[in-house]
């Protein structure tokens, strides 16, 4: 979706709302393509003292396989994003990942919102941020409870234990 911003480019405090959907079903994260549902984006572009600021809320539900515990999972995610839109870059150094160039006063929302979504996703796809993963000895999924394996003894305590036994 191309959003024409010619109406607000010269008018401070004016804004244009938008609402769109993205199909990111072919984007791979980790070992799978978890964005099987549409990503909805609701937001606006506002001329703030001459600078065009895009703000949006991206929401979807991921259906993936956890990179850490290998369980399949369904997890809603939402990202608040903000980006700067500009008609020209004054110099290359000013270009950062959250600055997007307009073409003919139009914002390419698909490109901007897709980039923002990817930047907000973690490089590892986890069923939840604090996934405990699998026990490296017995393979039990530790999210379902502790396993019977004893935790690795602290080598310093082992030395202490040996000293006490010698006495
Ligand atoms: Zn997991
Ligand atoms: Zn174990």
7-21, 123-137, 145-159: which has the highest mean pLDDT? 7-21
pLDDT of residue 105: 94
Domain assignments of the chain as residue spans, ordered by start: 2-131, 135-167
> Is a pLDDT exceeding 80 seen at residue 135?
yes
pLDDT of residue 95: 67
**3-class SS of residue 122:** coil
What is the CA(143)–ligand 1 centre distance, in A?
7
**3-class SS of residue 86:** strand
Ligand nearest to C-alpha 146: 2
What is the CA(27)–ligand 1 centre distance, in A?
20
What is the CA(73)–ligand 2 centre distance, in A?
22
Closest C-alpha to 134, from 124, 125, 144? 144
Give 159's pLDDT tier (boundaries 50, 70, 90).
confident
Average pLDDT over residues 56-69: 95
What is the CA(149)–ligand 2 centre distance, in A?
4
| Partner residues linked to 74 by β-bridges | 63
> Is the CB of residue 116 less than 8 Å from the CB of residue 41?
no
Q: Report pLDDT digits (tens) over 70-125.
A: 999 999 999 999 999 998 877 766 668 899 999 999 999 999 999 999 999 987 89
The more confidently predicted of residues 14 and 151 is 14
What is the CA(64)–ligand 1 centre distance, in A?
10
Other residues' Cβ atoms within 10 Å of the Cβ of residue 95: 13
Share of the chain above pLDDT 70, in %: 90
What is the CA(139)–ligand 1 centre distance, in A?
13
What is the CA(70)–ligand 2 centre distance, in A?
16
Average pLDDT over residues 127-151: 91
Ligand nearest to C-alpha 136: 2
What is the CA(89)–ligand 2 centre distance, in A?
55
């Amino acid at each position: 979706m191309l959003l024409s911003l010619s109406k607000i480019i010269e008018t401070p405090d004016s804004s244009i709302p938008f609402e769109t959907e993205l199909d990111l079903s072919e984007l791979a994260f980790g070992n799978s393509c978890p964005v099987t549902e549409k990503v909805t984006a609701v937001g606006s572009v506002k001329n703030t003292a001459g600078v065009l600021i895009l703000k949006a809320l991206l929401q979807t539900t991921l259906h993936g396989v956890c990179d850490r515990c290998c369980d399949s999972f369904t997890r809603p995610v939402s990202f608040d994003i903000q980006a700067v839109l500009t008609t020209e870059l004054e110099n290359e150094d000013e270009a950062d990942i959250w600055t997007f160039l307009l073409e003919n006063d139009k914002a390419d929302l698909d490109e901007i919102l897709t980039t923002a979504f990817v930047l907000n996703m973690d490089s590892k796809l986890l069923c939840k941020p604090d996934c405990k993963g699998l026990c490296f000895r017995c393979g039990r999924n530790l999210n379902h409870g502790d396993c019977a394996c004893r935790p690795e003894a602290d080598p310093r305590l082992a030395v202490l234990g040996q000293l006490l036994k010698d006495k």
